[in-house]
Amino acid sequence: MSKKTTIYDIAKVLNITAATVSRALNNNPRISEDTKKLVQKTAKKLNYKQNSLALALKSGKSKNVGVVLPIINRNLFSNVIRGIEEELNPMGYNVIICQTHDDEKKEADIIQNLLNAQVDGIIMSIARHTKNTEHFEQILKKNIPLIFFDRKIDVKGASSVTLDDFRGAYEATQHLIEQGCTKIAHFTVDRSVEIYRKRYEGYKQALLNNSVVFNEDYVLSLESKIESGKDAAKKLMELDIPPDAIFSASDLGALGAIQYLKGIGVQIPQDFCVVGFSNEPFTQFMELTISTVDQSPLLMGKTAAKVFLEQMNADNLKIERRMVLSPSLKIRKSSSRLDYTPS
């Protein structure tokens, strides 16, 4: 294994002190521009790499930001990461991506590891059943910015960037009512999680405001999976009075319902309308495109990153921001009984 180049090697080549090399590499104003350029040129020629941990200890900044999320293989999370990186990479920050797999204990362990790595900030979406806030408070006690996105929990000093899930659900249900649907079912996920609770509340409020009867039998809780959507749709169609529409809190549930309904000969959207939530890529590339609520994940990621940068540049790192993004209903074939305009 070849020996790593040190500042002493550079100093020897240039016949200057190691202290001068160190100051030049760290852009010390006491060193002339000519010497800085010469040191940097020599360092590059000798393939010298600065110790990032040592720099972090010296400057108090690692230029690393932790991004913690439940799972990476969802359109929402992958695009949030993209948005974060597009904002932070040009500013010299590296992004460390961690998955909790919706495990609160793993989430706490990840945060401890990120703190040990001296990250400058943490941007995260909490695990589904997270209730304890101690690991979040630990971040803030160290004066490290904490920004939640999508799923959040109330912690004094933390910022958040979320979608108006209530409004998204309300607009989706309102759209179904405007298509002539009068018996609208809802696929919820886990209403102990704020985003799903808000979607359920938006659905109910739209029914109430339009004098459409709310039927508890039409509300089914399921996992965000295709098979769960199929099973739930089967249960609905076996009711004495089945619904004529579904608003699903997830696109996968909506897809499962559509596959089941088509399998038993139900005509969509003529006899039955379906709207999902998230705007997963598959919703627009199917033969029967699926109406859905777009969560603007790229904007969500960019906004969260901007909140982090604002806090890093502020005198008070504990500044709080509560950013709520507006949803966008993408109307497609699965719910368009009337005039259809692709979106």
pLDDT in tens, 14-37: 999 988 988 888 778 888 999 989
CATH architecture of 61-163+296-326: 3-Layer(aba) Sandwich (3.40)
How many Cα neighbours within 13 Å face the side chain of 101?
3
Backbone dihedral angles phi then psi of residue 286, each to the nearest 5 degrees: -85, 160
Reported as a pLDDT band with limits 50, 70 and 90, residue 1 is: very low
Of the candidates 294, 301, 309, 236, the residue with the CA atom closest to the CA atom of residue 83: 301
Q: What average pLDDT does this structure show over 317-330?
A: 89
CA distance 97 to 312: 20
The DSSP bridge partners found for residue 275 are: 247, 291
Q: What percentage of residues in the chain have a pLDDT greater than 90? A: 73
Backbone dihedral angles phi then psi of residue 57, each to the nearest 5 degrees: -65, -35
CA distance 190 to 238: 23
Q: What average pLDDT does this structure show over 232-240?
A: 97
Say which residue the tokens 């029967």 belong to: 288
pLDDT recorded at residue 2 = 57
Tokens found for residue 316: 């008070």
Where are the domain boundaries for CATH 1.10.260.40 in the chain?
7-50
Cβ atoms 64, 92 nearer than 8 A: no
Residue 106: pLDDT over 80? yes
The DSSP bridge partners found for residue 221 are: 188
Residue 325: pLDDT over 90? yes
Residue 338: pLDDT over 80? no
**CB neighbours (10 Å) of residue 183?**
15
Q: What average pLDDT does this structure show over 335-340?
A: 76
Reported as a pLDDT band with limits 50, 70 and 90, residue 213 is: very high
Angle at 75 between CA 87 and CA 264, to 5 degrees: 165
Higher pLDDT, 53 or 256: 256
CA distance 28 to 31: 6
Residue 247: pLDDT over 70? yes
Looking at residue 151, what DSSP letter applies? B
Rg of the chain over all Cα atoms, to the nearest angstrom: 26
Q: What average pLDDT does this structure show over 197-203?
A: 97
Looking at residue 17, what DSSP letter applies? -
Q: What average pLDDT does this structure show over 89-113?
A: 94
pLDDT recorded at residue 248 = 98
Sheet with 273-278: strands ordered across: 219-221, 184-188, 245-248, 273-278, 291-294, 328-330
End-to-end CA distance of the chain: 57
Where are the domain boundaries for CATH 3.40.50.2300 in the chain?
61-163+296-326, 165-295+329-335
Domain 165-295+329-335, what fold? Rossmann fold (3.40.50)
Of the candidates 117, 9, 25, 137, the residue with the CA atom closest to the CA atom of residue 64: 117
Q: What average pLDDT does this structure show over 241-270?
A: 97
Reported as a pLDDT band with limits 50, 70 and 90, residue 196 is: very high
Say which residue the tokens 């039927």 belong to: 215
7-50 in CATH: which number?
1.10.260.40
Q: What own/partner pairs with CB < 8 Å and gap ≥ 24 does 150-153 have?
A: 150/76, 150/80, 150/125, 150/195, 150/295, 150/300, 151/70, 151/125, 151/126, 151/193, 151/194, 151/195, 152/125, 152/126, 152/194, 153/126
Average per-residue pLDDT in the chain?
A: 91
